[in-house]
């Protein structure tokens, strides 16, 4: 009877971990945090690199704690079973609890003793409250069908607001809020696309994502509307609320948006879904717009 080598078992465990870990969303969170921090330069505040790093560590520790809590409260025990088969029988849930507590505790300590800005502390508390309702039972909104909406709010509003407030403090400027609005829409589109991509495995595990609750066709149509509306909204905000350099930079990404909408419409038309391309383009659309707006803030 053939048995897997230890290295293959570890690779299997690592792949299962990455399947449960929100890697792309972590990347988007880092990008939106840096976007919020760079906005301080546009608002006339000096950017303190060390404070930016402290704030980024808070975000990373909180998000790591969220992923560890997700491993504890998930109903799918495949990852834990593979850990037992690879490393032997241990109380892995207790280990996850300890690591989650340490990770969230470290983030909290940094926020309280290093950042100390009132607005930043309020937003850090809001992120912790989000994690509580998003992951922990009996709430566990991550698989309620509305988890994508909440996750987009975290990445699109709370994290960039926290990035700004770590350096500037005080009230969040309306200009930053206006800039976060179109980000919220394209991040939500990205998450809806993900829920469609993972729909077969989510049905098997009975994880109620938006695509599972509302249907694949409905959520894909919403994706198209969200992407188109992000550009319309940016144009409307440019009429009265935002400097035109932000609007013009946002529109530089329109070829990516058009191609992504075309691929989604191909899926709606019954063609074979090119999920690898769709995932790359939806992630790129968020990151590209972030870089374009940052460049406009730095007057490049």
Model confidence at 73: pLDDT above 80: yes
- The candidate with the shortest Cα–Cα distance to 142, out of 240, 210, 225, is 210
Both tokens assigned to 238: 């440019």
Do 58 and 124 form a contact (C-beta atoms < 8 A)? yes
The DSSP string of the chain is: -----HHHHHHHHHHHHHHHS-HHHHHHHHHHHHHHHHHHHHTT----HHHHHHHHHHHHHHHHHHHHHHHHH-S--HHHHHHHHHH-S--HHHHHHHHHHHHHHHHHHHIIIII--HHHHHHHHHHHHHHHHHHSTTT-GGGBS-HHHHHHHIIIIIHHHHHHHTTS-SSPPHHHHHHHHHHHHHHHHHHHHHHHHTHHHHHHHT-B-HHHHH-HHHHHHHHHHHHHHHHHHHHHHHHHTS-HHHHHHHHTTHHHHHHHHHHHHHHHTTPPP-HHHHHHHHHHHHHHHHHHHHHHHTT-
pLDDT computed for residue 2 by the predictor: 46
In this structure, how many other beta carbons lie within 10 angstroms of the beta carbon of residue 66?
A: 24
Model confidence at 3: pLDDT above 70: no
- The candidate with the shortest Cα–Cα distance to 54, out of 180, 179, 165, 172, is 165
- The candidate with the shortest Cα–Cα distance to 127, out of 192, 55, 52, is 55
Mean per-residue pLDDT, 216-234: 97
pLDDT computed for residue 4 by the predictor: 57
pLDDT computed for residue 250 by the predictor: 96
pLDDT computed for residue 189 by the predictor: 98
Model confidence at 206: pLDDT above 80: yes
Cis peptide upstream of residue 6 (ω within 30 degrees of 0):
no
pLDDT computed for residue 84 by the predictor: 75
Count of positions (residues) in the chain: 300
pTM (global) more than 0.85: yes
Do 21 and 67 form a contact (C-beta atoms < 8 A)? yes
Least confident of 76-85, 155-164, 216-225: 76-85
Mean per-residue pLDDT, 161-183: 94
pLDDT computed for residue 10 by the predictor: 61
Does the CA dihedral 101-104-108-110 come out positive or negative? Answer: positive
What pLDDT digit, counting tens, does each position of 101-157 carry? 999 999 999 999 999 899 999 999 999 999 999 999 999 999 999 999 999 999 999
Query: What residues contact 178, with CB distance under 8 A and at least 6 apart?
Result: 237, 241, 242
pLDDT computed for residue 81 by the predictor: 72
pLDDT computed for residue 240 by the predictor: 87
Tell me the average pLDDT of the chain: 91
Does the CA dihedral 192-193-194-199 come out positive or negative? Answer: positive
Do 212 and 145 form a contact (C-beta atoms < 8 A)? yes
What pLDDT digit, counting tens, does each position of 18-54 carry? 565 688 999 999 999 999 999 999 999 999 999 999 9
Q: From residue 79, give the alpha-carbon distance in Å to each of 58, 104, 278.
A: 26, 22, 27
């Amino acid at each position: 009877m053939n048995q897997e080598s230890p290295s293959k078992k570890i690779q299997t465990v690592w792949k299962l971990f990455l399947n449960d870990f929100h890697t792309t969303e972590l990347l988007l969170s880092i990008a939106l945090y840096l976007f919020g921090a760079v906005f301080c330069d546009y608002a006339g505040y000096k950017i303190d690199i060390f404070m930016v790093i402290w704030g980024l560590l808070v975000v990373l520790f909180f998000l790591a704690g969220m992923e560890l809590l997700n491993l504890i409260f998930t109903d799918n025990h495949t990852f834990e079973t593979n850990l037992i088969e690879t490393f032997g029988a241990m109380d892995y849930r207790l280990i996850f609890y300890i690591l989650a507590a340490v990770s969230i505790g470290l983030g909290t300590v940094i926020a309280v003793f290093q950042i100390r800005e009132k607005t930043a502390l309020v937003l850090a508390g809001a992120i912790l409250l989000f994690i509580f309702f998003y992951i922990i039972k009996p709430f566990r909104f991550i698989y309620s069908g509305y988890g994508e909406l909440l996750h987009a709010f975290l990445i699109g509003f709370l994290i960039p607001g926290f990035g700004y407030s770590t350096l500037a403090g005080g009230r969040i400027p309306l200009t930053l809020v206006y800039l976060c609005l179109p980000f919220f829409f394209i991040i939500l589109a990205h998450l809806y696309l993900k829920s469609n991509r993972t729909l077969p495995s989510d049905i098997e595990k009975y994880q109620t994502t938006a695509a599972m609750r509302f249907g694949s066709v409905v959520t894909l149509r919403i994706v198209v509307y969200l992407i188109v509306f992000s550009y319309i909204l940016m144009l409307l905000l440019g009429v009265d609320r935002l400097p035109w350099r932000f609007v013009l930079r946002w529109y530089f990404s329109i070829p990516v948006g058009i191609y992504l909408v075309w691929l989604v419409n191909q899926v709606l038309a019954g063609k074979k879904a090119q999920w690898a391309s769709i995932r790359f383009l939806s992630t790129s659309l968020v990151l590209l717009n972030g870089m374009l707006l940052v460049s406009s803030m730095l007057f490049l």
